[in-house]
Structure formats: structure tokens, C-alpha cells
Amino acid sequence: MVYSAIVVTLKIPAQEIVVSCPHCDKSEAVRRSGKHRGGNQRYQCTSCNKTFCLSPGTTAHPPEFRAMVLKAYQERSSMRGISRTFGISRDTLYTWLAEKK
């Protein structure tokens, strides 16, 4: 696949932002590349083929959610039931239990 170099600029009222690659610092080789699972815009540099977000943020579960899941485990719920109810994997639950000890 061959991509033509497109300069991506974000137009915000009263200002314009030029997006440049944080890895190779080229702004003329950056193009949009979908959305991050947190909802942020992702970009791809066509010169170094790396993808990035301008403000990545975090997709980790909040501490209150983790405490609620661990409390459900302390109340003797099954691990499969907890993972189905809260929508997390059992591996995540095992990791949180190991960190707690």
C-alpha cells in the first residue's frame, strides 16, 4: 500500500494545531488512523509507521471499581460469575488478587 503524505491539522476556533510525530518529529507524514479505545483520535506517521495519540489518557479501571470487584470476591462469589457480572477477564481478577496479597 502506498499512502500519499497528508498534513493533518486540527481546526479549533481561533487556533490551528499541527500534529507532528513524537517519534521522528515529522508533521508532513502524519495521517488519521482511527480512534483509541478510550475515544481519542489516533494518528499514524507514514515515515516511521508508528501510531500515537495526542493525549492518550488512561484506560485502567478506577480504584472504586477494583474495590467493588474485590469485595464481591470476598463475599464468596465465583470467579467466573464475577468476570461475567463486571465484564473483566479472569486473568485481570487473578492479577488484582495477587496484588492485594
CATH 1.10.10 placement within the chain: 63-100
Q: Is 31 exposed, middle or buried (0-12, 13-18, 19+ CB in 10 A)?
A: middle
3-state secondary structure of 78: coil
pLDDT of residue 78: 93
Q: Which three cell numbers stand for residue 26?
A: 515529522
pLDDT of residue 74: 94
Q: Which three cell numbers stand for residue 52?
A: 500515537
Side chain identity, residue 12 = I
- For 11-27, what is the mean pLDDT? 76
pTM (two decimals): 0.49
Cα–Cα distance for residue pair 27/18, rounded to 1 Å: 7
Fold classified for 63-100:
Arc Repressor Mutant, subunit A (1.10.10)
pLDDT digits (tens, 9 = 90+) for 20-66: 999 898 888 899 999 887 778 899 999 999 999 888 777 788 889 99
